[in-house]
């Protein structure tokens, strides 16, 4: 089945920024598939994180794809710059622009994979008209802005619904989940149809981030193979 693949995407928001290169290499050893980079502007979300120079540095520090989650107003203003900086995947919020279709087209035209993210209060139906422009749908399972928050269970139903759409549309997009992902819920999320698991706290706030990433992957894979 298309997109049955499981990906672990450590979120560097929870890493120690004074040794970011080491942190990224550690999770690379832990068989991370993608590095998730949270960009926040203090407007779309009530927090400010990192931007283009950090993406450039990360690009030089790892071969893994960079999954750049733009929690910024009017993300289309910066899409090209982030791709030039080294983003392989760019995710924009449906709530952050009146021109989602244009923003997604810009991402692909710039040479990256395009994703749309939806907040907990946004129904998946907001994406019906752009499904053909999406490589990824990102279901937020916390209100974006901060790491270490509690998983909001409503995300599971959204993932199930997207999974059904995907069957209808021949598996054309990946389902990513972000926020409060940990060993306790990763199996259920994988069974619901999620492919890409973003995890910050449950990977970097442990004594052995590589082992934590490996464990999440194992639990997700087991859950999917048990289901078949």
In the set 22, 67, 178, 208, the catalytic residue is 178
Interaction partner, residue 149 (ligand DX5, Zn ion, none; CB < 5-8 Å by kind): ligand DX5
Cβ nearer to ligand DX5, comparing 109 with 151: 151
* CA–CA distance, 121 with 103 (Å, rounded to integer): 21
8 A C-beta contact, residue 132 and residue 172: yes
Minimum CB–partner distance for residue 101 and ligand DX5 (Å): 23
215 lies in the binding site for Zn ion (CB under 5 A): no
105: tokens are 């087209």
Would you call 22 a catalytic residue per the annotation?
A: no
For residue 178, state whether it binds Zn ion (rule: CB under 5 A): yes
In the chain the first and final C-alpha atoms are separated, in Å, by 11
- The site string for Zn ion over 23-62 (x = CB under 5 A, - otherwise) reads ---------------x------------------------
| Min separation Cβ 184 and ligand DX5, Å | 13
Q: Are strands 35-40 and 113-118 parallel, antiparallel or unpaired?
A: unpaired
- Taking the complex as a whole, the smallest distance from the CB of residue 168 to Zn ion amounts, in Å, to 27
Which CB sits closer to ligand DX5, 88 or 105?
A: 88
Within 10 angstroms of residue 5's Cβ, the number of other Cβ atoms is 12
Q: Report yes or no: 105 and 135 within 8 Å, Cβ to Cβ.
A: no
**Number of chain residues interacting with Zn ion (CB under 5 A):** 3
Residue 93 as a binder of Zn ion (CB under 5 A): the answer is no
- Min dist. Cβ of residue 1 to ligand DX5 (A): 26
With beta carbons less than 8 A apart as the criterion, state whether 132 and 156 touch.
Answer: no
Cβ(139)–Cβ(178) under 8 Å?
Answer: yes
38 given a catalytic annotation: yes
Spell 126-142 as b/e; 16+ CB within 10 A means b.
ebeebbebbbbbbbbbb
Catalytic residue among 38, 41, 67, 135: 38
CB-nearer residue toward ligand DX5: 86 or 200: 200
**Which residues are the active-site residues?**
38, 178
């Amino acid at each position: 089945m298309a997109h049955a693949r499981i990906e672990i995407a450590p979120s560097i928001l929870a890493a120690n920024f004074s040794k970011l290169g080491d942190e990224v290499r550690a999770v690379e050893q832990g068989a991370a598939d993608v590095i998730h980079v949270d960009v926040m502007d203090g407007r779309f979300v009530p927090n400010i994180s990192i931007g283009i120079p950090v993406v450039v540095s990360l690009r030089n520090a790892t071969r893994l794809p960079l999954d750049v989650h733009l929690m910024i107003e009017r993300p289309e203003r910066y899409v090209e710059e982030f791709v030039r900086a080294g983003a392989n995947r760019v995710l924009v919020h449906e709530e952050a622009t009146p021109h989602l279709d244009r923003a997604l087209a810009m991402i692909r035209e710039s040479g990256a994979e395009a994703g749309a993210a939806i907040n907990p209060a946004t129904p998946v139906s907001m994406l019906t008209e752009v499904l053909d422009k999406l490589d990824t749908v990102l279901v937020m399972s916390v209100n974006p802005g901060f790491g270490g928050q509690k998983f909001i269970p409503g995300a599971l139903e959204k993932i199930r619904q997207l999974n059904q759409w995907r069957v209808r549309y021949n598996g054309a997009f990946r389902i990513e989940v972000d926020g409060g992902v940990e060993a306790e819920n990763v199996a259920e999320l994988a069974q619901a149809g999620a492919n890409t698991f973003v995890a910050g706290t449950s990977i970097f706030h442990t004594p052995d981030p590589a082992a934590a990433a490996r464990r999440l992957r194992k639990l997700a894979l087991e859950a999917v193979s048990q289901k078949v």
